[in-house]
A = this chain, B = another copy of it.
Amino acid sequence: MELKNRYRNTESMIGHGNPSFTAAKEAGLLDLSVHNTGHGSLSLTDGREFINTCSCSYLGLDSHPDVLQGAIDVLTREKTMTMSISRLRVRLADLDALEEELTHLWRAKTVVTNSASSASAGLLPLIASGHLLPDGQKPILVFDKSAHFSMNLIKPICADETQVVTAPHNDLNFLEDLCRKHARVAYVADGFYSMGGVAIVKDLFALQDKYGLFLYFDDSHSLSIYGGAGEGYVRATMAGEVNPRTIIIGSLGKGFGTAGGAIMLGPTQHADLVGRFAGPLGWSQSLAIPAIGASVASARLHGTPELAARQKALRANVRYFDERVPTRTSGEDFPIKIIDVGPEAVAVEYSRKLMERGFYSSAVFFPIVPKGRAGLRIMLRSNISSEALRRLCDVVLELTSPGT
């Protein structure tokens, strides 16, 4: 009998996770059908309004007039929703324009994909097989334990190419030990983690300098909100060009405000191989044309002072929240805040009460976080008003204060 469930355990995921989802659904926290009111809140179909404090559109660019107009303009001009052919063969010139704009902005050869997860599904197997490493040899492939689901999902595919290991979160010694023992090590991590916390990026680049460690980052949650051109935390930390031992990917559907994903490659990396053999990237499912137009507009905004203004407004909101509500990521300057609660039922109850007071937060529980360590996830944005933010903090403190 072959060994199964080495990389995933669906039975445990569903068996332990589904009761919490069911409780969240019963508490009115799932499957919310909404319209955008246009004045900073969403409305349910029964008319109730609430503020979404769980949107990853950290800078509000999703509703910027230029971004919306960019989508409308490309539709008006090109009069098509899709080329419906692999982007490797034929693609709208606007997609090339978008990639040129991002390549310039982020000082890295940038390839736009249908989503960040399709980028990982395409790239990670080519890293496992060694084809995206400078010497073309297979590495031992190490996933950080807290890496996002979209990367963990791909583990068994990588394991069909090479040895796959899961490392404790941000454990530099564990990694250095592997680097000493193996000629080629590749490490897969988030830049800024979706449950809060950042990668130890500087330490990782030091290991890269010393041992040639290959680094793959999904920096979805810090793209746009970090760096002078919104290049994200990891890219902003790198001096000079993206080196041939580093690949950064990220989502354009979060801070960037549109849809799709982006891959940043170094100038000597195998852009042709990526386009031809990175699975989803070669299939006929390139980004919807209005999303391309919206993305060109967002990229242009990234080159204006408006980006810095929105980043600054976001940071002010993050700092205000940190001053009022203590969390384990206080002072971190990133917008994802986790209120640790513990029991799943209590997290659901807190989230329900927050919703009663007009704020949607995510109750997060297994398999999103470990069992018995449920919490509330709150995401701050530049476009939450100070009055709303003050009220949010009031309600959170009231809920979580001992004795209430």
Question: Residues on A close to B: CB < 8 A?
Answer: 2, 4-8, 10-11, 13-14, 17-18, 21-22, 25, 29-36, 38, 42, 45, 52, 54-57, 62-63, 67-68, 71-72, 75-76, 78-85, 88-93, 95-96, 114-118, 121, 125-126, 128-129, 131, 149-150, 153-154, 156-157, 159-163, 251, 253-254, 257-260, 272-273, 275-277, 279-280, 283-285, 287-288, 290-291, 294, 360, 362
Contact = CB atoms under 8 A, between A and B. Distances in A.
A82 B68 contact: no
Contacts of A13: 277
B288 A259 contact: yes
Given A42-B90, A45-B93, A115-B115, 12 more contacts: A10-B125, A10-B131, A22-B272, A35-B78, A57-B84, A63-B81, A72-B75, A84-B253, A90-B360, A114-B114, A254-B284, A291-B291
13 contacts: A7-B157, A8-B157, A32-B89, A34-B92, A55-B83, A62-B80, A67-B81, A71-B71, A81-B257, A251-B285, A253-B284, A259-B288, A291-B291
A120 B66 CA distance: 35
Contacts of A287: 259
Nearest to A65: B79
Contacts of A21: 272, 276
8 nearest A-B pairs in the assembled complex, by CB-CB distance: A10-B129, A259-B288, A290-B290, A57-B84, A56-B84, A156-B156, A156-B160, A288-B291
Nearest to A50: B90
How many chain copies? 2
A108 B272 CA distance: 41
Given A52-B90, A284-B253, A160 B68 contact: no
Given A31-B88, A114-B115, A277-B13, A81 B259 contact: yes
